[in-house]
Structure 1
């Protein structure tokens, strides 16, 4: 019997799912191991968990032997009904399954999902004291109580994190194949499903961002050329970058590549202060930002408007005022075409 076969059969045995034939085979093999000179446990290099399973098996055998001795010792005094003997053995086997589930099966985890819609933002407090500020059209999924070794959540959309420091439990944000790991810091993650890239921007402390391998395709940047760009690209290798305040990791989904660059925090964290920050932002992205911010659908009637670049800062402005400023700066006209629908039109920008 190989090590794998032995461990598979042992696991079924202590869970109470092994057949009678399986149990006989296992008992015979185990008893033979005890009389052999070779130390299989040492040769097989068993882990602590695997050794504990063997100890559970040995404890079960001792309990069964005691039941048999009690049954024989009571013969002639009074008769023990067969169903009681069977019941006691079932209880012992059930005990093995209970011990197994206690020590080896993961606890059932209650997960919580929090989402925001267009025009909404929300602040969520986590069980460890960390806070998450969700931007519009975003979702986080997290356990009701974090495990003892790490704090893991899943993000779809955009959120700003302020993480309580805990050196024994790293805080991990999962966004597709990208993992952002910290001990205690504040940072922003933007991972829109419709976007071709994911941005991780650090405000305080240090953050590690790790991704899977890339396929060597060309890196495409969302807006202008990155500032102080340093490209880290290793084909078929795990990539990991460590970021400090004012630095950003840009992950390109289609290629699996990651870049590290220095950025202006005002630009990428402005939304958390309720500021719309546009910095040479393409018009199609402006339409998406305004649509999420004000809970409207904005469409560009002329596809040539996509290439228009817009700059400006807006805090507490009405949507109509922002649209009027676009008309003034770029000659872009707007009209309300439905209850929450706006259409933009105009000549291509220079």
Structure 2
């Protein structure tokens, strides 16, 4: 049992985990000792972890029929037919795994980008992988990635969208359009880049930085930055409820015998509208319902309920109640 044919047969049975007689095992052990390098190569090849090939994608039988006529020593190969089919199938599965892995091995990041498009006629609500929320307006598209350097979450917007950004420690959020970029840490704001020559950013709560190729500004709640004829202009949002649409129309606050300081604090938290209190108003208790986030309407309602006066510090953004 020293011929190559016999050794090949023993190796085939050995790697197929079939039992050998003591004499056969002795012969195989002797061959392994004399051919350690070759045996280790065979062992690595046969022991490599592989996925079970899909029979629908590879016909091992057909492959064998093409190869078989070219082989010499037909008696040997007939003895190894079943093992050879297994080896060919395994090789095909390995090749398939390599092909599937090519996009990752080549460094492609296409799978890291989430694509969204609103082809309908109403706003589309989206929750991003970082739990930030986006209200995507009709005919708008958004590409989101959080795999960039410095943990920057990037949203590339075409069209109009309202963002409610989830604050993540050390991870900023950037909205890019064709004409301006917006950088935030955690806030809510509207970006309208529907028309390339006239784009705008409108902040509902928090603070954002808006930048173009020529200038940059920082704006806060109920402020806006608009790009008009290439110039970045800032201002106050005249009617937040109108600007933010249905999102602000849904703001509803009900107060039942609540102290006025607590009322104005909750209003600022929900709308970004600041209301200062003059001397002697802290003891007022308020019972009312406030719908929407129009600063003028809110301060008028509070002045009526507490029987006091009001003045506008910054329209739509900052007011004061006094006796």
Q: TM-score range by the shorter chain?
A: 0.3 to 0.5
- In our comparison, the structure showing a higher alpha carbon Rg is 2
The normalised TM-score by structure 2 is 0.42
Greater RCO (CA < 8 Å, at least 6 residues apart): 1
The normalised TM-score by structure 1 is 0.39
